[in-house]
Amino acid sequence: MEAQIENKYKKITIIVSIVLPLAVAALFGIKIPNVEPLSFLPPIYATINGLTAILLMTAVIAIKNKKQKLHETLMKTSLVLSLLFLVMYVAYHMTSDTTTYGGDGMMKYVYYFVLITHIILSIVIIPLVLISYTRALSKSFISHKKMAKIAFPLWFYVAVSGVLVYLMISPYY
């Protein structure tokens, strides 16, 4: 039964893991003309990233304290928040010009390092999170835990680095 559930979601995981980053990349090339820029979104989606990081950490604490239902709720909420972030992020970039980092010196290198690792890992975590989630759905908790040990720190980094990227670029909006 567990294998059937995992296999059922395997194709979906593969498709989403490929299509989602490609769709986001394609949407970056599309600018909606004659639409007011959604310049109010960056602080909102940065806050969503921060909240996601808090929920992820709280979910780990919950499961370590054997609070499975709370852990499940926090993880589902984190998934929803991540999806909400993505929708807002794409909407912002489809209506606004790209903001370039205006700092110089060492901070410029720090900014680009955080930004590039954030972008790369945000793509990497998609299949890891989905696999971990489907293993939990199929009640394959041993394999779920193995995958979560990989997915969690990367997802946490993406959430925290998203806040850092916003804080570092916000003076240049």
Q: Interhelix angle for 2-28 vs 68-95, to 10°? A: 20
So what's the pLDDT on residue 2? Answer: 65
pLDDT over 70 (residue 157): yes
Contact between 166 and 53 (Cβ < 8 Å): no
Ramachandran assignment for 114, one of left (phi > 0), alpha (psi -120 to 50 degrees), beta (any other): alpha
Q: What domains, with CATH codes, occur in the chain?
A: 2-28+40-172 (1.20.120)
- What is the mean pLDDT of the segment spanning 116-144? 95
* Average pLDDT for 96-117: 94
Q: Among 72, 71, 40, 47, which Cα is nearest to 160's? A: 47
Q: Residues 152-171: what's their mean pLDDT? A: 97
3-state secondary structure (DSSP) of residue 100 = coil
Q: Compute the residue count for the chain.
A: 173
pTM value? 0.92
Cα–Cα distances in angstroms (integers) from residue 156 to residues 8, 22, 101, 163, in the given order: 27, 22, 24, 11
Q: How confident is the model at residue 52 (pLDDT cuts 50, 70, 90)?
A: very high
Is the pLDDT at 6 greater than 80? The verdict is no
Which tokens go with 7? Answer: 């296999």
Tell me the residue type at 127: P
How much is the average pLDDT of 92-98? 91
Q: What pLDDT score was predicted for residue 4?
A: 72
* Predicted pLDDT at 92: 94
Whether the predicted pLDDT of 3 surpasses 80: no
Are 24 and 85 in contact by the 8 Å Cβ rule? The answer is no
Cα gap 74→55, rounded to integer Å: 6
Residues 115 and 165: beta-carbon distance below 8 Å: yes
Region 68-85: mean pLDDT is 97
Is 80 exceeded by the pLDDT of residue 14?
Answer: yes
With a pLDDT cut of 90, the percent of the chain lying above it is: 83
> If we measure between CA atoms, which residue out of 34, 22, 21 comes closest to residue 122?
21
The pLDDT of residue 29 is above 90: no
Q: What does the pLDDT average to over 128-134?
A: 96
DSSP state of 173: -
For 126, the enclosing helix (H) or strand (E) is helix 106-137
pLDDT band at 11 (very low <50, low <70, confident <90, very high): confident
